[in-house]
Amino acid sequence: MQVPEEQLKEMEARFEEVERRLADPDTAARPDDLKSLGKEHAELRSVVEAWRTYRRAQDDLAEARSLLHNSTGDERAYLQEEIAMQEATMDGLQGQLVDALTPKDPNDERDVIMEIRAGAGGDEAGLFAAELFRMYSRYAERRRWKIEELSSNESGIGGFKEITFAVKGKDAYSRLKFEAGTHRVQRVPSTESSGRIHTSTAGVVVLPEAEDVDVEIDPADLKIDVYRSSGPGGQSVNTTDSAVRIKHLPTGIEVACQDEKSQLQNKAKAMRILRARLLQVKQDEQMQARSEERRSQVRTADRSEKIRTYNFHDNRVTDHRIGRTVHRLGEVLEGDLDEFIDGLAAGQKPQPQ
């Protein structure tokens, strides 16, 4: 395994430059620069420290090997131990340095906006969508992330036709991006008197949340409508026009929010969702591979496009992308997803089914 020394030297030089700029009093007067430099410093620090440790071990190893030629007795034994120790140190750091320089998804450190939509299966699909939302909420609790519901459309029997929510926390996108796709459930619905197993689906879309600086939106490109919120069955749940629908005219993307009583709050949430969707469009246009990935997430929530199956009869969950099956359905629905996500993050990326 070859360590890319030239690239590491450039990173070390950049790290030293960032340290100098952070120490400059003029930088403290520019909050935006201070924030961006601080973030860059934190990202470079672990790599540069590992590189410096690697170089010290390299120098100590060379010196020990040189002294070994003329050594005898206890001194020779000591130098042999020193050589073995420095070689082990370098081996461990080589892998760490190569991994650190492997290109990463630029969205990995972002927060997430997730959308779950009921697919095939009628009311049962809506109930399954609600269970998936609960599963991700439990997973967020395990990782100490924060969940914020942005918009929902209830089915009237405890399920969701669709629900959109934000997930905030360290590594949120890097973990949850593997959940995008069609999820399938196989079970006997409570309304089924004959005991037949039904198959239903729900589609999950995972979007990196956009910052204001990521996407510029011209107010002239927006069509904003306000109307009264409605609940299951269409009944009005508010006496004022608090619900908001925003359409981005150049792309045709439309977002509606009605969960808050305030029109301003609904508009703010709708704009967050719109920004996330526009960021995805922007990144798709910049990179064809990202476009292919986005189109593969959820097109129709059709049964044939499944990425994971939850089978209640066999107490089984199967992720079809990595061929992994576990027989602990209850634990998975309580948010125990790391086994699947770790398997996908290890290098086996989601593929269209």
Q: Classify the C-alpha dihedral 185-199-203-225 as positive or negative.
A: negative
CATH 3.30.160.20 is held by the domain 219-286: yes
What pLDDT shows up at residue 352? 38
Residue 266 near residue 258, CB atoms below 8 Å: yes
How far is Cα of residue 225 from the mean position of the Cα atoms in its chain? Answer: 31
φ and ψ at residue 249, rounded to 5 degrees: -60, -40
How far, CA to CA in Å, does 192 sit from each of 158, 188, 195, 303?
17, 6, 6, 20
Residues 218 and 247: their CA atoms lie apart, in Å, by: 12
Residue type, 128: F
| Region for 158 from its dihedrals, namely left if φ exceeds 0, alpha if ψ lies in -120 to 50, beta otherwise | left
Residue 291 has pLDDT above 50, yes or no: no
Residue 262 has pLDDT above 70, yes or no: yes
For 22-60, how does the pLDDT look when each residue is reduced to its tens digit (9 = 90+)? Answer: 999 999 899 888 988 998 898 899 889 999 999 999 999
Which range among 53-57, 213-217, 345-349 shows the weakest confidence by mean pLDDT? 345-349
> First vs last Cα of the chain: how many Å apart?
34
Residues 342 and 346: their CA atoms lie apart, in Å, by: 6
Residues 40 and 19: their CA atoms lie apart, in Å, by: 10
Q: Position of tokens 């340095």?
A: 97
Residues 260 and 71: their CA atoms lie apart, in Å, by: 79
For 220-230, how does the pLDDT look when each residue is reduced to its tens digit (9 = 90+)? Answer: 999 999 888 76
Query: What are the domain boundaries of the chain?
Result: 5-101, 112-210+288-345, 219-286
Residue 351 has pLDDT above 60, yes or no: no
Topology of domain 112-210+288-345 in CATH is Alpha-Beta Plaits (3.30.70)
φ and ψ at residue 229, rounded to 5 degrees: -65, 150
Q: Position of tokens 């299966």?
A: 121
What pLDDT shows up at residue 101? 78
Task: Name the strand (E) or helix (H) holding 198.
Answer: strand 198-208
For 313-338, how does the pLDDT look when each residue is reduced to its tens digit (9 = 90+)? Answer: 999 999 999 999 999 999 999 999 99
Residue type, 234: G
Q: Are strands 243-248 and 222-227 parallel, antiparallel or unpaired?
A: antiparallel
Query: Residue 117: which pLDDT band, with cuts at 50, 70 and 90?
Result: very high
What pLDDT shows up at residue 158? 86
Can you state the angle between helices 263-286 and 288-297, rounded to 10 degrees? 130
What pLDDT shows up at residue 32? 85
Query: Residue 213: which pLDDT band, with cuts at 50, 70 and 90?
Result: low
How far, CA to CA in Å, does 151 sit from each of 115, 124, 196, 215?
9, 20, 33, 21
Q: Mean of the pLDDT values across residues 181-194?
A: 84
Residue 127 has pLDDT above 60, yes or no: yes
Q: Position of tokens 């269209």?
A: 352
